[in-house]
Structure 1
Amino acid sequence: MNKSYVSKYFDQLSNVMKQHSIDSMPDRIWNMDETGCSLSHNPGLIIARTGSKYLQSRTSGNRETITMLCCGNANGTMLPPLCVIKGKTVKTLQSLRTQDAPVNTKFSVSDSGWTKMGIMERWFKDHFLPLIGPQRPQLLLMDGHNSHNYVELLTEARDNNVIIVELPEHTSHWLQPLDRTVFGPFKKAYNKACTNLMNDNPGTVVSKVTFCGLMQKAWTEGMTEGNLKRGFKACGVYPLNPGVIPQDAYQPNSATRMEKVSVHGVPQEIQATIAHQETPAAVVPQETPATGVPPETPAAVANQEAPIPDDILTDVILDKVDQTLVLDIADDEVLKALIQGNIFSTPEENSQLLFQHITNDVNQKAISRFPFQNTSSPFDKDADVLPYPTSTTSVKNKKKVQERYFVLTSEEVISHKTKQLEAKQDKENKKETAKL
């Protein structure tokens, strides 16, 4: 996970909860998420003698998946689900024994069996709002799926005083309460119920006819009040506690994330460290010495560029080249001047020469590390293989940066999405006009 995104998310969540005075009202903090139940269940492990070669377990063979929209609050209350069946008409639901499902369960159809914008809007209007009670405001946490953040749904939520907060991308495995402690026990109970059904009734398979009854058993066993409360606590939502997310959760992202680099090639974090270490705390005026040369004024001392310490400079270089190829680069006075930007007047010229200097220096020092002239080294001088391409700097196309919003029901987000919708509609109208 990206630590900066998670920090901003918790800041926004804290501001919303305190602003609307719902930080001490767990019955008004909700989380909605989707999960899928396959008709070809996972039978689990089998107990057999050591050395047994033929182990068998039965499944239905039907790989169709039924999507369930589930929602619960921090007080442990679980709303009945909305099940999405793959189909094109309502006749698809005739094969289900809906009376066996949990009370007030809703059913819908889609051609893919997944959630869509219309289904999400119907769930919000006809299912969520009538069951949460008249108390307002209420908070709803959701992930960033396209069916969750379109203008019509956000407008409906704002009109009903429901605040929708979106989770950061790629964080639902840590920040989604239902994913953390609810869906796991539910899936385990569902697979167990399917296995028991097929073991007790050899001629019966898991299908749409038996799905509602199996879901009822798994729902009662997995969607418990305790599991739901533990999910909100484990995600740091209620009680609000960002520190509950362990630091290990950010390590995979920190290993591959690129830090921002300034125009001089020095990361901003290192520049801040240099400025902090080298800036004098105070300058005490001194008397004029007998030589008649006045001492340096505080302004003159402040205007001098502080030298970069060797240890910090070495860290800068190690971020750019292989550590095994760097010997005494930090002692090169030319390289220090390049990084400080004291050779050329423009940052672009300094950055280009810095890159060339590092490449040439590393190439010369690395030849001694690879004395054998073979193809395993990029410094091979033989002509039996194609030469390696020279290092060149290319300007990549700038990607459109999409602004990240967490409070989706704010005026800023709705206005932004409305403009996007209008721009898209204008573009389509121009295409239609051009065809005519």
Structure 2
Amino acid sequence: MSLADMCRDGVSILHTPVPTGAVLLVMGLVRIRKSISGRRGKLRASSDPTYESRIQAAIQGIANGLYKSIAAAAKEQNVSHQTLSDRCLGVHKPRRLAQESRQLLSAAQEETVVDWCNLASTSATPIHPAKLRASDTIGEFFEMQKKLDDNYNKIPPEHHWNMDEKGNQMGGGRKNTGMKFIFSAEDSDCYRVHSDNLELVTIIECVSTAGAKMPPWFVLSEGPAPDIRDLKDKVGGVSFSPTGWTDHEIADYWFRNHFVPTAEKHCVDPEKPIVLTVDGHSSHEQRAIQRAAYDNGVIIHAFPSKTTHKIQPLDVGMFSSVQRPWTKHCDKCLADGVEIDRYNFIHEYMAIHHVITPELVQKAFKKTGIYPLNLSVFTDKDFAPSLVYQTTTHLPPSYPADIPSSPMAAPSDVDEVDKLMRLDDSEEEDSEDDTDFFPMADDEHDLDSESSDSESEEEEEDAQPSRNDTRITRSTSLVSGSIPHPVIPTYNQAMMLTKEELWYELQHMYEQNGALVQTTQILTAQLDATNAHCTMAQRALAQS
């Protein structure tokens, strides 16, 4: 008999007296022939890309009642019976999730990142891998600072400037000053006079890494101009806008007529450029300012979006140091009978402007890591998303529409108990009644059980798999979100069941346990996906 003949007869091949090596070779050919004929062998998940999909199809088929048992599902889908059984019971996880604890991102987080990458690509704004972490953005900013400093062979600190606007309210604002006052112990209500003037004045401050500060620039709302002739050398200038905020024209005028002349006075090396670091407001990046910067040898460097609270010196170390003295000064003026308005605001503000000292400025630059340059000034904790953060934005399609914040409500078991009591009465009347003591999943199964009584004995013998299908259907409702209370039979009811019926009930308990484990995994994945989406939403807004 040739090898080809033996391969065609896979049953009798083991009875053919051939050497051991030939047997191994022939068995290998048989497996190859079976694979070629369309009957695939049981491959491992690591070598078969469709293995996991077949496992999932088998689990879904068991839940839907397509297969009568785990063995039938394993045979039909050509997967390992033990693996399928363990997966149904929740003993093992898929290969993709088995090592999830060792991964940097969970499976839900990976899917979220992919969804955001797809969303960005469809909007013609693809995400660069370096942009996936905020720390990479900060690192890129510091690398640009270092590269700029190296290209010009150490730019002097007198040439590095930081500019930003601060809004001050004429009444001092509503923040608490932290001061303590004496009240009578008999007074249940304690009051203190505080100004309610919330009119806004914008102040443009600019400081250098050497500790120098430029005279502040003020932006008032449209109206009469205050008399500041006595502050000519202390104030940079005054502008007016409809809202009291800066606009493109004011920013351009400030840059050309105040910043450039003042910064040139502080230059110590004409061969080195002047560097101005600003936030990404549109008024700072307009073409007019870019043209003026190019003409005057000024390099403008913008902070990454949504990071100025950490790396902008004016925000980190100076504006907060000015706000509390300003609020105290406003309260003192009100106590002295002096009302702060647009005519005396600048004078009163300059009275506390001395709190911005060279030491404070240098400390702020050092804290942000800008000067001296410190690339490791921040840790991973500084880039963690805010735990209390809400926003509205566009989200990928996979974002869950409804995430339960509490355990899912179980359906009422009153109907199930009623059915069980009716079952007890029927068993007393007719001991041969083979009605399952477990309640059906819905009324549809009750109609099926009533119609089955009028059928032949052969059809009644085939009714046992149908009962197993009913239990599997209940497991499907469990996976989809409805967790029924288990109904425990009485001792007499259990004794009336045959061994086969007890085996089916035990099998049902295992399947229900597996469905509970699967439901828990689904809810856990939804929660992980929600947390991951919040993180990605914040980072997406940071890039906008």
TM-score, normalized by the shorter chain, greater than 0.5: yes
The match for 1:224 is 357
The match for 2:213 is 78
The match for 1:165 is 301
The match for 1:123 is 254
1:368 and 1:110, CA in 2 relative to 1: closer, same or farther beyond 3 A? closer
1:68 and 1:205, CA in 2 relative to 1: closer, same or farther beyond 3 A? same
CA distance in 1, matches of 2:322, 2:142: 28
Alignment partner of 1:213 is 2:325: no
CA distance in 2, matches of 1:79, 1:71: 6
- Which of these residues, 1, 4, 8, is aligned with residue 140 of structure 2? 8
3-state secondary structure, aligned to 1:242: coil
Q: State the AA in 2 paired with 1:127.
A: H
In terms of fraction of residues, the more helix-rich structure is 2
Q: Which has the larger radius of gyration?
A: 2
Can you list the C-alpha shifts for 1:87-111, whole angstroms capped at 9, x where unaligned?
A: 1xxx621x45453576142100011
Q: What is the total number of aligned residue pairs between the two structures?
A: 275
3-state secondary structure, aligned to 1:197: helix
Q: State the AA in 1 paired with 2:262.
A: L
Is this contact kept in 2: 1:84–1:110, CA < 8 A? yes
The match for 1:249 is 382
Q: State the AA in 2 paired with 1:31.
A: N
TM-score normalised according to structure 2 size = 0.45
Q: State the AA in 2 paired with 1:107.
A: V
Residue 254 of structure 1, CA deviation: 10
1:152 and 1:66, CA in 2 relative to 1: closer, same or farther beyond 3 A? same
The match for 2:154 is 22
**Gaps spanning 5+ residues in structure 1: where?**
257-264, 266-321, 326-361, 381-400, 406-436
Residue 363 of structure 1, CA deviation: 6.8
3-state secondary structure, aligned to 2:345: helix
1:51 and 1:26, CA in 2 relative to 1: closer, same or farther beyond 3 A? farther
1:145 and 1:51, CA in 2 relative to 1: closer, same or farther beyond 3 A? farther
Alignment partner of 1:61 is 2:196: yes
CA distance in 1, matches of 2:172, 2:210: 31
CA distance in 1, matches of 2:305, 2:326: 28
Q: State the AA in 2 paired with 1:182.
A: M
- Which of these residues, 200, 224, 245, is aligned with residue 92 of structure 1? 224
3-state secondary structure, aligned to 1:245: coil
1:69 and 1:80, CA in 2 relative to 1: closer, same or farther beyond 3 A? same
The match for 2:484 is 371
Residue 231 of structure 1, CA deviation: 0.8
CA distance in 2, matches of 1:117, 1:368: 56
Q: State the AA in 1 paired with 2:260.
A: L
1:54 and 1:2, CA in 2 relative to 1: closer, same or farther beyond 3 A? same
Can you list the C-alpha shifts for 1:33-56, whole angstroms capped at 9, x where unaligned?
A: 000110121463442346743322
The match for 2:52 is none
Superposition map of 1:116-195 within 5 A: 116-133=247-264, 135=270, 136-195=272-331
1:33 and 1:92, CA in 2 relative to 1: closer, same or farther beyond 3 A? same
CA distance in 1, matches of 2:485, 2:230: 78
Residue 242 of structure 1, CA deviation: 2.0
Is this contact kept in 2: 1:137–1:162, CA < 8 A? yes
1:197 and 1:255, CA in 2 relative to 1: closer, same or farther beyond 3 A? closer
Can you list the C-alpha shifts for 1:142-190, whole angstroms capped at 9, x where unaligned?
A: 0000100011111110121111000011101001001111111111221
CA distance in 2, matches of 1:229, 1:121: 27
1:175 and 1:52, CA in 2 relative to 1: closer, same or farther beyond 3 A? farther
Alignment partner of 1:31 is 2:183: no
Can you list the C-alpha shifts for 1:370-395, whole angstroms capped at 9, x where unaligned?
A: 3349xxx9x99xxxxxxxxxxxxxxx
Superposition map of 1:258-337 within 5 A: none
CA RMSD of aligned residues (A): 3.8
CA distance in 1, matches of 2:342, 2:167: 14
Superposition map of 1:334-349 within 5 A: none
Is this contact kept in 2: 1:80–1:103, CA < 8 A? yes
1:99 and 1:255, CA in 2 relative to 1: closer, same or farther beyond 3 A? closer
CA distance in 2, matches of 1:63, 1:105: 24
TM-score normalised according to structure 1 size = 0.56
Can you list the C-alpha shifts for 1:298-350, whole angstroms capped at 9, x where unaligned?
A: xxxxxxxxxxxxxxxxxxxxxxxx9x99xxxxxxxxxxxxxxxxxxxxxxxxx
1:12 and 1:54, CA in 2 relative to 1: closer, same or farther beyond 3 A? same
Is this contact kept in 2: 1:2–1:254, CA < 8 A? no
3-state secondary structure, aligned to 2:329: helix
CA distance in 2, matches of 1:63, 1:39: 6
Percent of matched pairs sharing the same residue: 23
3-state secondary structure, aligned to 2:154: coil
1:254 and 1:209, CA in 2 relative to 1: closer, same or farther beyond 3 A? closer
Residue 29 of structure 1, CA deviation: 0.8
Residue 59 of structure 1, CA deviation: 3.1
CA distance in 1, matches of 2:371, 2:342: 37
CA distance in 2, matches of 1:196, 1:102: 26
Can you list the C-alpha shifts for 1:218-253, whole angstroms capped at 9, x where unaligned?
A: 111x21111100111011100111211232211116
Is this contact kept in 2: 1:190–1:217, CA < 8 A? no
- Which of these residues, 160, 163, 181, is aligned with residue 47 of structure 1? 181
CA distance in 1, matches of 2:373, 2:205: 22
Residue 61 of structure 1, CA deviation: 2.4
**Gaps spanning 5+ residues in structure 2: where?**
1-132, 390-397, 399-404, 409-474, 487-515, 520-539
1:187 and 1:169, CA in 2 relative to 1: closer, same or farther beyond 3 A? same
Is this contact kept in 2: 1:101–1:212, CA < 8 A? no
Superposition map of 1:393-404 within 5 A: none
The match for 1:239 is 372
